[in-house]
Structure 1
């Protein structure tokens, strides 16, 4: 689709007007009652690694033609640089305490909870899901592990043409899990369970249901008990509606033709009810470090997070055109992506893009949220990934983040 070309608020010609944000300044923490008081932008002189981050973010925002970019980089738990560039809405600057959609980050939370339950001997990863989800087709062939590492063979409803056609027609529709799972054609598998790899959103709908039945706890409460509190996530929450707690980073998209606001389009189709989360960039960075370091897992659980058995799987076939090889260098872990020893997750949703990335050897976390301008490249699903890659290059020149096939 053709996109209208308009100047970005923080384009090169206007960099001087954006200077307070480039320097890391922000509105007072109490400017918004709903804001995260601990998620203030970096202040003071910008030197060394902080300067490298600012330069990389500024260049990436301009080159990628992004509307807003919000970033937090930490190392060993200490702030390297936190800041925001560009507008949330016209006349409203983006801020570091603004919330955005981050649904697939909760997929990593669900995988981590599954590993916690295995650590506690409450389940085995190789238990058949028929124990908790007997009504699901092929439940006697599919294990909890296969849901978490998405090797079940279920088709991805997001890639179903009939489903894809529905989303732009009615972006405010409230989807039910039953409706979504219907689009997976669950009776027809792409391959024998556990023998191949293909990302499928339905796996995580089912994983959310299984976790609720295993623990007898509603998923949103389970996430709060086992992830938000232990990792100190102050501004992360689920919503069963399209609402986002204030302050909000607003999103816009040209996906349907005209450049329009998409902030409150309904995300109910993106993952399991109870895990449709929003958060700010500081919680995104805390998640990267907490999950990436295996803070809530045993050593065995952490090893499984990094490799639940997908390495060596993956073969594109006529039945599975979206399958691709999983190698030691690049593979899907237990609901987290592992590429060249970086762990990351990369949520995107109609004008929103984000990424949390962590390099264990350097204790380095990179968190980015970005929104589209009218001129952003419509062929790139997640431009926040490009920003994170640019940030990593001066910080880890010998092993920068490379998202690769993901």
Structure 2
């Protein structure tokens, strides 16, 4: 009996080692803390600059929609995790669409996701150009006999700085860049508070208003833009050592980000009232130290976020390459081309607030609210029955579609009127 027992224990050990090997090949090496940094970096970014403008557009009552969108998108983030738990072969957001609705679902999710992320990183470049121009004024650069001046030269300069981070393909390395992005958001909020309290800007509560129905669509669209990281969540999920803790990552990220968004919205609106601009840093006096800290910090955030947000777009294109191609060379070429194309779009549509409002209303609502709900209903099969969760999910979908229609219409009109 003893030899038999030894053989059995050996077989068990071999099987456990094989399962552990499979687990390591399926999931990534990223720890809980590093995934939190990546998640916070994906959620807490340039949206923090526009929330005061959003609050000024809709009035104090619009803050309710910030919390409604935060709760809804947190829940849909958990639905993405549940979809991936149901089918372990799911590795990306388009995989969820295909598992739910076949080829059409994959194309819909992939197109929405990639266009959203592409426009978000384009907004990063617009933001960088605006703030650098505000800080240093207009400059001119000569390139091959062509004169490039003003914001355009700053956009090109910041692109050259961002480009090397896009070539990275390791989530553990990106987590260190993400940590800098998270710290940048904290420093930004602190510098805005310093400007209000110690640099003489102060607060103007009498100039604020309780409700502005005309600006409510813009406010809600910008709030939705703040929570547009859902296409990145499957990448974060598969990069974790222990994906079962992903729900805790979601809770930490959404809680901290919502606190920072609400704080910045309230402080910024109290400081500048209805005169707050689409980026609050553009309101600050440039001769103050706090302003310089705020703007420099603002410049760090897009640099830290760009590579993380563009990664799923690059992966979608790279996965179409034949296996025999030299992937490293083509990956560098694809990612460089993507970055250069965002420069062109940023120079062609230089309206940060209106562009982000459009992205939030049409793309963010679709990718972060509507699609996760529909895909989960189909994959889980619970659409056959009627229960509390089904009613909640359908209610979220209806709310999302209403916001998408009204917000998109308003944003398009604003962009057209300013072209």
Common fold, TM-score beyond 0.5? no
Q: Which has the larger strand fraction?
A: 1
Find the structure with the greater CA-based Rg: 2
Where relative contact order (Cα < 8 A, 6+ residues apart) is larger, the structure is: 2
TM-score if structure 1 supplies the norm length?
A: 0.29
